Amino acid sequence: MSIDIALRQRGVTLVELIVFIVIVSVGVVGLISVISPMVRTSADPMVTKQLAAIAESLLNEAIHQPYTWCDPDDTAATTAQSYADCANPQNTLKEVPAGGEVRGGTPPGTGLDNVADYGSVVGVNNIGDAAGNNAMAGYKADIVVAHAGKALLGAAADDTAALSVTVTVTRNGETFSLTGYRFRYAPRI
């Protein structure tokens, strides 16, 4: 009887202990190699949210501007029935806005005042609000404005009846884009 108990209580050999340590070590190394990249990039969702928020803000700023036959500074802006009635029509998308208009222009009234003007917003660094406050260092924005009337309303439609506005915000190689559409409301804004 005492021999049976002695055989059942032999314990673990040194070889078995070393094999166990090797197996557990391999498992721990595998677990760390999976967790390490997740910890290293854990701030990325915040950057993506910031990119999305900036893009949405700039898109809203652009598409909430007037889009009629004439530039709002034009004397015929409220009465024009076609582009021909305007001294400064909005049917041509400008590379550089007329009259030196810039985003957040100073003095007030010299800023971008219609959707078509936003096509000149390229490579804006350190994004801020329209007045130039609250800069977000390291972010870059580009806004592309293009005619979209035919694409949205059919081949027979006036291509200038609608604009697509695409905002692309970049930071450290990560990019986020949003596209919105603005239809012409004429003669009023």
Q: What is the mean pLDDT of the chain?
A: 78
Q: Residue 88: phi, psi to the nearest 5? A: -130, 80
Sheet holding 162-171, edge to edge: 124-127, 136-147, 162-171, 174-183
Share of the chain above pLDDT 70, in %: 71
- What integer pLDDT is reported at residue 181 of this predicted model? 92
- Choice between 42 and 80, residue whose per-residue pLDDT is larger: 80
Mean per-residue pLDDT for 67-89?
80
Query: Counting every residue, how long is the chain?
Result: 189
125-134 as b/e, with b when 16 or more CB fall inside 10 Å?
A: eebbeeeeee
Asked if the model's pLDDT at residue 53 lies above 50, the reply is yes
Mean per-residue pLDDT for 96-116?
58
- What integer pLDDT is reported at residue 148 of this predicted model? 87
Mean per-residue pLDDT for 62-78?
82
Give the pLDDT confidence of 161-181 residue by residue, as tens digits.
Answer: 888 999 999 888 888 999 999
Asked if the model's pLDDT at residue 121 lies above 60, the reply is yes
- What integer pLDDT is reported at residue 160 of this predicted model? 81
Tell me the three state secondary structure of residue 85. helix
